[in-house]
Copies of this chain bind each other. A is one copy, B any other.
């Protein structure tokens, strides 16, 4: 494992859920960013015993007022000097608005001191998956109202549909959704973290997808290949899109979306730092129009992120299979479905802490392709 850190000193505000046991939300995002050298301020939006995929959970949510208070606490002690912000699951529309106000204020501060590019917000608009909303209805317009402040958003396909009001069924509608997000909502960068339309042969029937967002359990079958689609808009707010196809793993894991977001924070910062110096000083780190889609910092970042994800998921899969066999021997005969489900959920927790090498120096196998 290399001792070189990928990013210069970077102070990140991470706003997401906290679980005592397991790896979703801030519990996985904070460690991921810290182990890559970021100084992370972790504002936890809930404290739950475990993630909701277990189908039973205890704990409490943090109110919108408490989120605002904690941020005021940071401000009064001059601890709000953030370079980046990552936001994940936020419980309810009011809390979403509270987090949006924090991001907007940090953005304004950067602009007031005439330092565009000195603050960058990565927003994962956690709302649902596979056509099912798992937050209250009023969270959707709340997120829409925040989009103009975001630099990079990380919706899954369903969330991209909700934000763009475009039903994604083929490559044309996928492109249309990206256009709306760039043009109507002025979001400079977007990565769709799970796309079920076949990006290899447009207009074919969409296979069912593997989710990569947390806070959700799924029994969907997995296609052999998945795609991540990314785009950085041009100065005319037109898409510059790329896709990265990678082999799917036939298992459902919670927390992958949160790990994806945390890695994107680090790798985006890394890619921008190693690009032309001026890029980091440009608002929203928008590459000049002559930069091709597959040469975008966003594409370079996404390649590394997927490489790390693939290695960690592989490691999780291997240890999970061993665990599940043990569990089946122990409980398989008893027909106690709940007990089996709980044991499987625990076995599927991402195996991160013992695979730091996969975070730091992943082997990049899957490359971005022009769309």
Contacts and interface: CB of A to CB of B under 8 A. Distances in A.
A71 B48 CA distance: 10
Nearest to A37: B354
A77 B57 CA distance: 8
Interface stretch (A1-9, A205-213, A276-284): A1-9
Interface residues of A, number: 52
Given A62-B47, A79-B50, A354-B37, A42 B18 contact: yes
Contacts of A44: 18, 44, 47
A319 B204 CA distance: 57
A30 B78 CA distance: 25
The prevalent SS among residues of A at the interface is mixed
A318 interface: no
Interface of A: 1, 3, 5, 9, 18, 20-22, 27, 30-31, 34-35, 37-44, 47-50, 54, 56-60, 62, 66, 69-74, 76-79, 339, 342-343, 345-346, 353-354, 356-357
A73 B59 contact: yes
Contact of A27 (B42, B47, B74, B346): B42
Given A22-B41, A47-B70, A54-B77, 6 more contacts: A18-B42, A27-B42, A35-B356, A47-B47, A56-B76, A59-B73
